[in-house]
């Protein structure tokens, strides 16, 4: 289903960008639902989903959708100081991975998608990920934030399981949560982000909106790196 989603727009944007495919790093805290999100986008069990107490994604895994978007799934933060330090270093190293084209050096990753657990009010680890790992090492305009597990935002209440969509009270709650996170990210990191969209990978809700957020905010150019690591 999503392999055919907005193909013309995606192709046109990639031509304008001068690159193909669009390489998107997916990151977030452990349990935010990165692997579940990939499975929902691909409409099959592409990535292993953690069901126990230990995270499943312990290394960088890649998945290609219609040869136009390449997703890179990363380990989540929140597994303890030692593991978080290791994962943060690996993520940072990958953000600086480059390739040479026509004599210029470009960053391999074009966009970072930060997934937030919509059922968790504790944003401390997410802010740490953004403030200490992503923002210092990546261009701010290429960062997208999205809220997963919309169905559990009110502990499973106000969710219509027949239509797999939020009832009015929950929708209002999610809209306010999105605005709140946008404001809190600005306060915690100093960076203005696009208003986060909300979705539920488990319920296959708003996955098209998630893809819209990525396609609609695609960078206009490849990430040309200088000695400072900035474009």
Supply 162's token pair: 């027949």
What are the domain boundaries of the chain?
Answer: 2-216
Instruction: Work out the mean pLDDT of the chain and round it to a whole number.
Output: 87
DSSP 3-state percent helix, strand, coil across the chain (nearest 5): 40, 20, 40
Residue 222 class from Cβ within 10 Å (0-12 exposed, 13-18 middle, 19+ buried)?
Answer: middle
DSSP readout, 2-26?
Answer: GGGTTHHHHHHHHHHHT-SSEEEEE
In whole angstroms, give the CA distance from residue 71 to residue 55: 18
How many CB atoms lie under 10 A from the CB of residue 200? 25
Please tell me the predicted confidence (pLDDT) of residue 190: 84
Say yes or no to pLDDT of 57 above 70: no
- Please compute the mean of the pLDDT values over residues 151-159 and round it to a whole number: 95
So what's the pLDDT on residue 46?
63
pLDDT digits (tens, 9 = 90+) for 193-221: 899 999 999 999 999 999 999 999 999 99
What pLDDT shows up at residue 67?
87
Looking at residue 230, its pLDDT comes to 45
Give the separation between CA 185 and CA 197, rounded to whole angstroms. Answer: 14
pLDDT at 36: 92
Q: Which CATH class is domain 2-216?
A: alpha beta
């Amino acid at each position: 289903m999503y392999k055919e989603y907005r193909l013309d727009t995606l192709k046109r944007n990639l031509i304008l960008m001068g690159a193909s495919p669009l390489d998107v790093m997916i990151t977030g805290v452990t349990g935010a639902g990165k692997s579940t999100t990939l499975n929902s986008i691909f409409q099959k069990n592409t990535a292993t989903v953690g069901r126990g107490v230990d995270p499943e994604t312990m290394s960088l895994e890649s998945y290609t959708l219609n040869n136009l978007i390449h997703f890179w799934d990363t380990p989540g933060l929140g597994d303890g100081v030692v593991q978080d330090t290791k994962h943060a270093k690996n993520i940072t190293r990958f953000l600086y991975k480059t390739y040479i084209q026509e004599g210029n050096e470009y960053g391999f990753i074009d966009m970072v998608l930060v997934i937030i657990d919509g059922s968790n009010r504790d944003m401390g680890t997410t802010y740490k990920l953004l403030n200490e790992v992503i923002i210092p090492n990546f261009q701010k305009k290429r960062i997208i934030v999205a809220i997963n597990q919309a169905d559990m935002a009110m502990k499973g209440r106000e969710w219509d399981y027949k239509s797999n969509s939020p009832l009015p009270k929950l929708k209002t709650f999610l809209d306010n949560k999105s605005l709140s996170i946008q404001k809190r990210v600005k306060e915690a990191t100093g960076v203005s982000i696009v208003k986060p969209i909300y979705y539920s990978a488990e319920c296959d809700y708003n996955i098209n909106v998630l893809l819209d957020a990525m396609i609609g905010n695609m960078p206009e150019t490849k990430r040309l790196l200088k000695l400072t690591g900035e474009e």
